[in-house]
Chains A and B, each alone.
Chain A
Amino acid sequence: MRSIRSAVGRCSAIVALSVLALTGCATETQTPKEATDESARSRVFVANESSNSVTVIDGDSFQVVGTVDARNHATHDLAVSRDGRWLFATNLASGRVSAINTRALETVASIATGDRAHVVTLTNDNRQAWVANIGDNTISIVDTTSFRILGTIGVGKGPTGLTFSRDGRFAYVSNQGDKTVEIIDTTSLKVIKAIPVGTNPHFLVLGPDGRIWGTNTGGTDIYVIDPATQDKIASINVGPAPQQIAFGFKGLQGPNAYVTVAGLNRVVVVSADPKNLRILEQIDVGQRPNGISGNREGTRLFVVHEISNDLKVIDTGSSSVLATVPVGRKPIRVVYHGN
């Protein structure tokens, strides 16, 4: 009996070690928790580049719900489906996208896209995930149901930002190496125009007025592109190394663009009217702010910091920090999903 117990114990130990080894290339292992009453909760998802993981936070209580192992390396960008059930995460070092079931808090697929998969954006109908591969100078088109790569589009040097127009007819891709934003016709999948925008363009996002907003992370400015004319129509200096943009309101004032400026350790608030771009205020945040996302109502901002490894929740009405939540190492991107 003793020897059997001993053997079982050894088995358990070795099996446990094997399971740890099995978690693949990831450097950390996490036990996903099954979220309760998931459909009724809002969620904040944070990509932790140096932890290879996604931190999941309750959007109302600001408590960490769980941490998802991306089963890849250098988790960088995130896109959440409209129904909140699926999260797609790029992994720079792996050149792969992780498909995450947000109810099970589990990675269920790992999709090879291209060298240094950088950003991911879902098409407006959520049927495809477009992924910019900074090392290949390509966009991979991923079917969000079968997880197959349906096609690849060659773009300029170093694609780092990606968003779609309101009507879905155009995709906008920022290229660091070319200092341009390219416009892709989504019906022909061909690049139809390249707009010079500035130094080291990076993040792109669809604004509340249907215009495309971008940051020149290698410079000090943000800019606005009008899909009606497909031209850059405005820009404003906000400070060194602007990173990402979210939109919100301060009481009656707004919509405003909230820009994380890494060189200032601040969120710079800019009026979101391209005809009258001006800085309204600056909010002190943590060390090297990068990702920023807002709730649907535009009253809360979620900002992650690469150095302090945390997320701050900002009340836009008072421009004050409501909560600080520890996350993984080197958080880059944060996305919010509300129900």
Chain B
Amino acid sequence: MSRIGSWGLAAGLAWAAWWLAPSPACAQGVPVGTAQNAVGTLVVVRTDGIEHRLQGRGSLPLFEGDVLRTEPGSQAMVQMRPGAPVALNEKTSLKILSRWEKTAGTIRILRVSQGEVWAKAGSGQAALEIETPAAVATVRDAEVDLKVAEDGQSALTVVSGSAEFGTPFGVCAVKGGTASVGARGAACTAPQPANAAAAVGWKQAVNQ
């Protein structure tokens, strides 16, 4: 084996080891998504305080720790990697985070402090968790809308698939076409039938 070949093999194996092994989330460096479209303005605040603004179509890389904010009258569409589209309605603020687990790898988390998001997530690494001040929704092979009021009250509507919705007082399995509410100091409400199409009608403009 030639010297170049052996070094190439070694480098390849090292790269493979790096790529395959789970690791805890680190500082900003590797994009975890892309902001693709904004009706009005999407403000992205990096961990060092630097602000970027997306107006119209674009390709703004997103990193762990970024805070995304839409102003009144603004909406945005972002693509979380791998393959989880997320839309922000007006007056929404969320932070991109993650949890690392030895057995499950990195789980992408969106921490919504207020506003409304729509998300469609797959399974495995394409799953999402959406945290609010009062609840958490685990979105796996599902499409959901989550609206967060100023007091943290969180209304989850599942468009398709099913999602796990939890508060400190209990967990609800919410199926497609139903909705549940999580409020501070209370368990999530029993899922009730909901007009899912109407709940996500707001995102049509940013979907265009």
Q: Name A's B-contacting residues (CB within 8 A).
A: 3-4, 6-7, 10-11, 13-15, 17-19, 21-25, 71-72, 106-112, 128, 141, 143, 147-154, 187-190
Contact = CB atoms under 8 A, between A and B. Distances in A.
Nearest to A3: B1
B6 A110 contact: no
A17 B5 CA distance: 19
A4 B1 contact: yes
A111 B98 CA distance: 7
Contacts of A3: 1-3, 6
Given A11-B10, A151-B168, A190 B100 contact: no
Given A11-B9, A148-B129, A189-B185, 19 more contacts: A7-B6, A10-B7, A11-B13, A15-B17, A18-B18, A22-B21, A22-B23, A24-B24, A25-B26, A71-B24, A106-B102, A107-B24, A112-B97, A112-B109, A141-B168, A150-B166, A150-B168, A151-B134, A152-B131
Name the 7 nearest CB pairs between A and B, nearest first. A7-B6, A14-B14, A188-B185, A10-B10, A112-B97, A3-B1, A11-B10
| Dominant SS among interface residues on chain A | mixed
Given A18-B17, A147-B101, A24 B6 contact: no
What is the size category of the interface that chain B forms with chain A?
35 or more
A266 to B, nearest CB: 39
B138 A148 contact: yes
A6 B2 CA distance: 10
Interface string B77-106: 000000000000000000001111111000
26 contacts: A3-B2, A4-B6, A7-B6, A10-B10, A11-B9, A13-B10, A15-B10, A18-B14, A18-B18, A19-B21, A24-B25, A71-B100, A107-B24, A107-B102, A109-B99, A109-B101, A110-B24, A111-B99, A112-B25, A128-B168, A141-B168, A149-B131, A150-B166, A152-B131, A152-B152, A153-B133
Contacts of A148: 99, 129, 131, 136, 138, 166
